[in-house]
Amino acid sequence: MTCNRVLAATPWALLALLLSTVSLTAGAEAKAISAADLRAKIQYCQDCHGPSGRGTVGGYLPIPRIAGQTPEYIERQLLAFAHSMRDKNSSLGITSAHSLSPAMRLLLAAHFSGLNPAPIGQGPRNLVATGRTIYEEGVPTDNIPACSGCHGPSAKGMNKIPRLAGQLDSYIVRELTNWSKVRGQNPLKAGASAPMKHIAHNLSAAQIAALAAYLSYLKN
């Protein structure tokens, strides 16, 4: 088991002992993180993303699910926030991420990637079947490839490609509808998100709504 997974699965009492003897090397620095400091940062994240990291709805903007997200993706987004490479509506995330050390980003990514609460759901049930078809088969006539080709058959993601399973319906709709505005401002050279610019542009509002509904209920 990797150090990341050990940290994600370790109860706080054991985590305190582990962190007292282990230093994480992140970037050019080796930095010991105390259990109390990590716990405080996790709580700060949960204040917005929910107690289990499954996201929150009902506010000014939907705040996405980060539970079960790939650690590489979480780290990458925290870094993008720290360098102000996300949209203006992400100002809270940008402000918060600036204070995180590379080692703390690593630990937070490990923690939240190890969570897997039930999804909130809330997408229109009548659109789920259509969304599943689009996800699994794509829409060849509209030059839209199957989402499963990159995000996996169960939408768990891999490495820098994000998990979509259980993501908030309203968040997916917002991201795909406004992709050119909220993504692609050179977030570390765009990287794995680059192909999405073309795909998001080809998706209709109805197709986006169906995909979001399907993914909002998907468990794994």
Q: 146 vs 4, which has greater pLDDT?
A: 146
Cross-strand pairs, 144 = 139
What are the tens digits of pLDDT across the range 136-168? 999 999 999 999 999 999 999 999 899 999 999
Say if residues 76 and 186 touch (Cβ distance below 8 Å): no
Cross-strand pairs, 177 = none
DSSP, residue by residue, 69-96: --HHHHHHHHHHHHTT-S-GGGHHHHHH
Mean pLDDT calculated for residue range 79-100: 66
Reply yes or no on whether the pLDDT at 180 is more than 80.
no
Q: What local confidence, expressed as pLDDT, does residue 89 receive?
A: 52
Cross-strand pairs, 139 = 144
pTM of the model: 0.80
Structural domains of the chain, ranges and CATH numbers in brackets: 3-113 (1.10.760.10), 125-217 (1.10.760.10)
Q: At 11, is the secondary structure helix, strand, or coil? A: coil
Q: 76 vs 193, which has greater pLDDT?
A: 76
Q: 92 vs 32, which has greater pLDDT?
A: 32
